[in-house]
Homo-oligomer: A and B are copies of this chain.
């Protein structure tokens, strides 16, 4: 018995192509193509015949070939810093939904907060001839040449949430300023008189905006923010804890804290509870992002919701506009979403005081 190395037992199973349909029906491929793409120059009868056979043979278009021909695919490239936590998965969720509704699939790449990787991701997407590139910048991205290639190939480029500062780009962002303004105002209206701020890295525009919203809310209430009440960090849990300790060591500690991120506020909360300081009676808290855990802590945390799904949907909508608009490269559009403040126990002075 001869040893069989290449056994053909599993038929390589051919995908049925337009040529197959053409041969079967005795017409040209052009006719097939027109019937399938609903072209106007086609007889109604012929069209029906083609469509019928296509269904019968379960014809599936080869997107690759079409993409090669037309120079681009029905793929949307997305670059995000990471996909853990709540924010980016939710945004991607929104992107995915809107994209698939418009007939696009989505490729997701992570930059892991690394410009190098971000650069490579963009290359990868261009090589895949994506129809559009949707980006949220890595934390340490300071120069943006790698995106010029995208634009110069005429591929729609939309930034969301983390956008290049001061650049004229297509972008979808949350009104971080407004969110911070709301949150801080809320704290003041609850009776806080010394509100501190846990600020994030100021080279990221979102953290700039949040800080400014905080400052302006104070100003609107006739208050100014002493230097020592604004503490800068990367907003991790431990950063927030550290910041809170620092604030408590002040001659006059704050009676309210607005954090530019929920993790930082969580750290602050832990420190406060550990030291027996009551929340919200002694110190009220409000954060940013409306992370899942804000509804789990005790007390639950007031936070600004970022409308994640909507941001994703808006990003895709903007892409679609650019993809169809003839002057796409010239019009740089900005979309600004309004945040929503979720008020929970950590900032409700009166209510909790009654308990």
B154 adjacent to A9 (CB under 8 Å): yes
Known: A7-B329, A293-B293, A296-B296. A15 touches B153 (CB 8 A): yes
Q: How far, in whole Å, are A18 and B280 apart by their CA atoms in the complex?
A: 66
A128 CB contacts on chain B under 8 angstroms: 63-64, 75, 105
For A127-152 the 0/1 string (1 means CB < 8 A from B) is 11100000000000000000010011
Within the complex, what minimum Cβ distance (angstroms) separates A163 from chain B? 17
Q: Chain B contacts of A105 at CB under 8 A?
A: 107, 109, 124, 128
Closest to A9 in B: B329
**Cβ contacts A77-117/B at 8 Å (1 or 0 each):** 00000111010011011001000100001111110000000
A189 contacts partner chain B, Cβ-Cβ < 8 Å? no
Q: How many protomers of this protein does the assembly include?
A: 2
Beta-carbon contact of B83 and A93 below 8 Å: yes
List the B side residues contacting A296 at CB < 8 Å: 266, 293, 296-297
Q: Judging by beta carbons under 8 Å apart, are A153 and B92 in contact?
A: no
Closest-CB distance, A290 to chain B (whole angstroms)? 13
Interchain CA distance A56-B194 in the complex, whole Å: 59
**Contact status of A153 and B65, CB under 8 A, knowing A8-B329, A107-B105, A128-B105:** no
Query: Is the CB–CB distance between B123 and A60 below 8 Å?
Result: yes
Chain B residues with CB under 8 A of A45: none
A153 proximity list for chain B (CB < 8 A): 8, 12-13, 15
Residue of B nearest to A12 (CB): B154
A335 within 8 A of B: no
> Is residue A36 contacting chain B, with contact meaning CB distance below 8 A?
no
Q: Cα distance A89–B64 when bound, in Å?
A: 28
Asked if A61 is at the interface (CB within 8 A of a chain B CB), the reply is yes
Chain B residue at minimal CB-CB distance from A74: B128
- Given known pairs A92-B83, A106-B108, A153-B15, the reply for A64 and B129 (CB within 8 Å) is yes
Q: Which of B64, B93, B127 contacts A84 (CB 8 A)?
A: B93
Find residues 211-237 in chain A having any chain B CB closer than 8 Å to their own CB: none
Contact partners of A152 in chain B: CB under 8 A: 6, 8, 10-11, 13
The residues of B that contact A329 with a CB separation of less than 8 Å are: 6-10
**Chain B residues, Cβ within 8 Å of A93:** 82-84, 110
A228 to B241, CA, bound (A): 43
Contacting A8 at CB < 8 Å: which of B86, B108, B154? B154
Interface residues of A in 273-300 (CB under 8 A from B): 273, 292-293, 296-298
Q: What chain B residues lie within 8 Å of A54 (beta carbons)?
A: none
Chain B residues with Cβ below 8 Å from A129 are: 62-64
A171 within 8 A of B: no
A316-355 interface with B by 8 A CB criterion = 326-330
Cα–Cα distance between A100 and B114 once the two chains are bound (Å):
15
A to B CB contacts below 8 Å, 17 in the list:
A7-B329, A8-B151, A8-B154, A9-B326, A9-B328, A15-B153, A61-B127, A63-B127, A63-B129, A64-B67, A65-B68, A82-B93, A83-B89, A84-B86, A106-B107, A108-B108, A266-B296
User: A: which residues have CB within 8 A of B?
Assistant: 5-13, 15, 60-65, 67-68, 73, 75, 82-84, 86, 89-90, 92-93, 96, 100, 105-110, 123-124, 126-129, 148, 151-154, 266, 273, 292-293, 296-298, 326-330
Q: Shortest 8 CB-CB distances between A and B: which pairs?
A: A8-B329, A13-B152, A8-B154, A10-B329, A64-B68, A13-B153, A83-B89, A63-B127
